[in-house]
Structure 1
Amino acid sequence: MEADLEMNLSERFEAAFNRIHKALKQSAKNARTDRFYKLIEIQKNHSLIRLYEDDLHQFAKLRNAIVHEKIDLDYYIAEPHLETVEKIERIAGHFEKPKTALSIAATPVFYFYEDGKLTDVLAIINKFSHSQFPIYSRKEEYSWLLTSADIVKWMAEHFTEETIQLKKVRIKELFSKKSKHQISFAGKHTSIFELEDMFEDCRNKNEKLEGIIVTENGKPTEKPKGIITAWDLLESDSEN
């Protein structure tokens, strides 16, 4: 009975390790290797990997000891403790079901049409303290991003005028090519691995990704369900 339990622990450990290895291979874009250690190294921008990096290295060492000292197909010499097996199984679950875009995104997100009124945006800022607003055309397609900083800048530029009749100002009047913000889109089920890669790709190009708009399927012709900034990913990392 005791031998069966020990064999079962080793099998469970190896199965959980293989689940993590599979998840690492799936999350690594265009990786030229499937070696466990290398997959960890090249994906350190992922918060989940940073969180469990030490554990993953220890698991790899234990896995090598278990597999290399296996006498037969179902007979192991090296055996993990039950708490180690339970830990790797728990971590494997995190890698198989990482956080999704909608679970990380700031919600609700308020969007406006280009011919809408600036006063409507100001009312939302006053009530909810939001600072980013996707702007859509009447063709129901994303056009550009308006931020509270853009509004302040516009008001400062028009401050010298005798009067600003805010009720008459349309949102499209605030658009400026100079302050156009870089935005990407992601479907609501997009994993945190993919989101982190999107920000990392922009950093590698010396570009700033202002945010990721979350829609049903990641299309700019769909209404926003949430918006993700680099800060949201940091908050998600700290929660881990």
Structure 2
Amino acid sequence: MESVKNQEQLLSERFEVAYNQVHDALRGLVKINDDRFVVLVKVGAKRYQVIETFKKDLEQYAKLRNAIVHEKIEVGFYIAEPNEKVVIHIEKIANILSQPNYALSIASKDVVYFDDRDKILKVTSAIKDHGYSKFPVYQNNKCIGLLTSSSIVKWLARNMKNGSVNLANIRIFDIMKFEKAHPIDFVSKEINIFEVENIFEKSHKKKQKLECVIITENGRPEEKPLGIVTPWDLIEIDYTVE
């Protein structure tokens, strides 16, 4: 009987520890003046997909936590007990929020990029081989923007004669003249998923469409791209835990 009681107490203690870890992580992520758990969850769910994924669970866990902590009859005696499945689940959530993956883990890593002096035929081959539609372009070893397949089509439309165009001597800088500016950002490989989400969120608040975030060694445009994160990459993150 005593071992059962100790096991129940251990589950309650584990739940409290995990709950507090989640609370601390929410404070660090959401960063508002209201410190209440449920408020942090509500506000955070609008900013971060991961919090939205666990929103209903966290709201229920807040109620359970109140029952566990505020309705104690005496030290070490809990009026409500979480079951093991609940404890394991909130511990997994705490781990995800407290130790987020690096953004590089969700980035497209086989980055195809070009120098602006490269021939455009090199780009069309890459489109055929990889199916990509956007490519970082470098000038003097510094990223100067993105080349998109749509700008190539626009250039072709303007330069086509009698239904054809000779691309043999056309270089990327010829096409870049027709390329509109695409907002991009550069971050170091140490940045985590939540920080990248925040970058896109800030851009959205400014009513700017951030095309992508390019990950480099130290977050500088002069460095080789290690990965690219687009808004679509964030949407496809699977935060669910069994």
What is the TM-score normalised by the length of structure 1? 0.91
Larger displacement relative to structure 2 (152-161 or 202-211): 152-161
- Whether 1:76 aligns to 2:78 is yes
> Per-residue displacement from partner, 1:20-75 (whole Å, max 9, x unpaired)?
111111212x4222221111122223111111110000111111111112344544
- The answer for the alignment partner of 1:123 in structure 2 is 125
- Whether 1:34 aligns to 2:59 is no
Larger displacement relative to structure 2 (47-56 or 214-223): 214-223
- The answer for the alignment partner of 1:50 in structure 2 is 52
Q: Distance in 2 between matches of 1:234 and 1:113?
A: 30
- Superposed CA RMSD in Å reads 2.1
> Per-residue displacement from partner, 1:94-148 (whole Å, max 9, x unpaired)?
212333311111230111112221111111111111111111122x221111111
Q: Distance in 1 between matches of 2:138 and 2:59?
A: 47
The alpha carbon displacement at 1:187 in A equals: 2.3
CA pair 115-239 structure 1, distance change in 2 beyond 3 A: farther
CA pair 59-162 structure 1, distance change in 2 beyond 3 A: closer
Q: Report the count of equivalent residues.
A: 238
Contact 1:117 1:170 in 2 (8 A): yes
The alpha carbon displacement at 1:178 in A equals: 6.2
Moved over 6 A (4+): none
- The answer for the alignment partner of 1:224 in structure 2 is 225
Larger displacement relative to structure 2 (52-61 or 91-100): 91-100
Larger displacement relative to structure 2 (92-101 or 62-71): 92-101
Q: Could you list the runs of 5+ residues in structure 2 that have no partner in the other structure? A: none
CA pair 177-148 structure 1, distance change in 2 beyond 3 A: closer
- Letter of the aligned partner of 1:209 in structure 2? L
Contact 1:20 1:92 in 2 (8 A): yes
For the residue of structure 2 that corresponds to 1:179, the secondary structure is: coil
For the residue of structure 2 that corresponds to 1:84, the secondary structure is: helix
Contact 1:187 1:216 in 2 (8 A): yes
